[in-house]
Amino acid sequence: MSTIQERDTFNAFHEYWDLENERQSETLQGMTLAVKDNIVTKTGTTTCGSKMLEGYKSPFNATVIDRLEDAGVVLVGKTNCDEFAMGSSTEHCAWGPVLNPWDRTRVPGGSSGGSAAAVAARLCQGALGSDTGGSIRQPAAFCGVVGYKPTYGLVSRYGLVAFASSLDQIGTFTTTVQDAANLVEIMAGFDELDSTCREEPAPALSKNLHDSIEGLRIGIPSQYTGSQNDPAINAAITSAINTYRELGATIIEIDLPLTEVGISTYYVLAPAECSSNLARYDGIRYGHRTDKPCKDLFELYSNTRAEGFGTEVKRRIMLGTYVLSSGYYDAYYNNALKTRRLICQEYHIAFEQCDVILGPTTPSVAFKIGEKADPLSMYLCDIYTANTNIAGICGISIPCGFSEAEGKQLPIGLHLQGSWYDDARLLRAAQMFQTATDFHTKVPECAQ
Ligand code: GLN
């Protein structure tokens, strides 16, 4: 864990290095940071947007919180999210929906919508989120900010309330790639409290961030730019590809045919894991407990869970219980695990041909509150992001343009994916784009 002492030394090195290179860098000292309400903090409550955890106060901090506070970051509050991080719009939380600062009739994306909106509205300089299938990158795209999901295992999940443990990862919302690198460099590195955390020190992410990458190979999968996307999104992606070409990158066409099975695979694996992880909310140990008189323990469980969980969470628990039940386990869960292996293989082959994979973060811009009433259309929001988590690689969404609707500017996100633990290169590729463009400097009217 980084101590203030170590961090001071590190900062001093940075200032020197930056002066030498005439570059701007910021330290984390005094940086204001909001935290998604599914990451535990001793200060305030941690509710996961659920009645089940209303008023819950954690007796301990998540590892990332301790590390960031040691580095001088100032926590300014907890941010609203879809209940237990299940959703793509931040409409489905016990405390009401979050509005998109670019257009308050639209959603900010989800499930980390509160964090994305807070950074977009410049209420804070950065925010933490969690990304299980796209919950950092999709709201970052909808709100016009940088959303970074590190490689699985780079950042400790200790203190992140579990949704689907093999997919969950903590990451950041910032306005610049530099801030994302600075934050994750402090958050990353081995933590004995998370057995899935890689046993390596944190990689250097902020150093050399501004160096352009000689001979960067960018893979463009044909599956990412079809007619399923808004035309304005495809146009922004074409223009981003041209920017990279002008910067000297080599553009390579690649094939990721398993993109189309990502959502169906995700919606077996994630509910299966959630049905197990959420079994702990039983009304006995902590959280909500029913007031109704109960004749036995089963009735206590059942009333507590019926009252405490919202509709989407119940749907996921039922789906997960079903795919894990004997008789269906092989047909659904085992098959999803096999598909997961194939998706990993597909990325392995792709990363032999290219260094980063480029595409849109989402097929559409921010949609209207209440517009996606059926669960399937909501699930399809993560079509380009779910496979990143299924494989455990790293991904980042950065602002790359705007689409206009009803007189409002709506941000578009550029999605870059990098290979396992190749986060430093992913961030450098993102920084290259940000150095050449000014989309990330645009702010919504409410923040001007
Ligand atoms: N939208 C996806 C879901 O509802 C992803 C959520 C997430 O990444 N936490 O499960």
Over residues 143-175, the pLDDT tens digits come to 999 999 999 999 999 999 999 999 999 999 999
Q: What is the pLDDT of residue 127?
A: 98
Indicate if ligand 1 lies below 6 Å from the C-beta of 119: no
Could you tell me the distance, in angstroms and rounded to a whole number, from the CA of residue 133 to the centre of ligand 1?
A: 5
Catalytic site includes residue 206 = no
Indicate if ligand 1 lies below 6 Å from the C-beta of 168: no
**Which residue from 83, 92, 107, 135 has its CB within 8 A of the most atoms of ligand 1, so it is best to mutate?**
135
How would you class 207 by CB atoms within 10 Å of its CB: exposed for 0-12, middle for 13-18, buried for 19 or more? middle
> Vertex 206, ends 204 and 432: CA angle to 5°?
120
Residues 6+ apart with CB under 8 A from 91: 82, 97, 107, 110, 369, 370
Could you tell me the distance, in angstroms and rounded to a whole number, from the CA of residue 164 to the centre of ligand 1?
A: 10
Catalytic site includes residue 111 = yes
Could you tell me the distance, in angstroms and rounded to a whole number, from the CA of residue 115 to the centre of ligand 1?
A: 15
44 beta partners: none
Question: Does the structure show a pLDDT above 70 at 82?
Answer: yes
Per-residue pLDDT tens digits for 287-302: 999 999 999 999 999 9
Could you tell me the distance, in angstroms and rounded to a whole number, from the CA of residue 130 to the centre of ligand 1?
A: 9
Catalytic site includes residue 227 = no
pLDDT class for 7, splitting at 50, 70, 90? very low
Question: Does the structure show a pLDDT above 70 at 338?
Answer: yes
Q: What is the pLDDT of residue 13?
A: 29
pLDDT class for 15, splitting at 50, 70, 90? very low
Cα 135 from Cα 28, distance rounded (Å): 24
Could you tell me the distance, in angstroms and rounded to a whole number, from the CA of residue 168 to the centre of ligand 1?
A: 9
SS3 of residue 178 by DSSP: helix
Q: What is the pLDDT of residue 307?
A: 98
Question: What is the sign of the dihedral through the CA atoms of 126, 127, 132 and 134?
Answer: negative
Per-residue pLDDT tens digits for 309-329: 999 999 999 999 999 999 999
pLDDT class for 211, splitting at 50, 70, 90? confident
Question: What is the sign of the dihedral through the CA atoms of 55, 57, 63 and 65?
Answer: positive
Please state, rounded to an integer, the average pLDDT across all residues of the chain. Answer: 93
Nearest CA owner, ligand 1 atom 5: 133
Q: Active site residue: 50, 88, 89, 111, which one?
A: 111
Question: Does the structure show a pLDDT above 60 at 23?
Answer: no
SS3 of residue 407 by DSSP: coil
Q: What is the mean pLDDT of residues 354-367?
A: 98
Top-level class of domain 3-262+333-447: alpha beta
Q: What is the mean pLDDT of residues 220-249?
A: 96
Question: Does the structure show a pLDDT above 70 at 384?
Answer: yes
Q: Active site residue: 88, 112, 115, 135, which one?
A: 135
Q: What is the mean pLDDT of residues 29-45?
A: 97
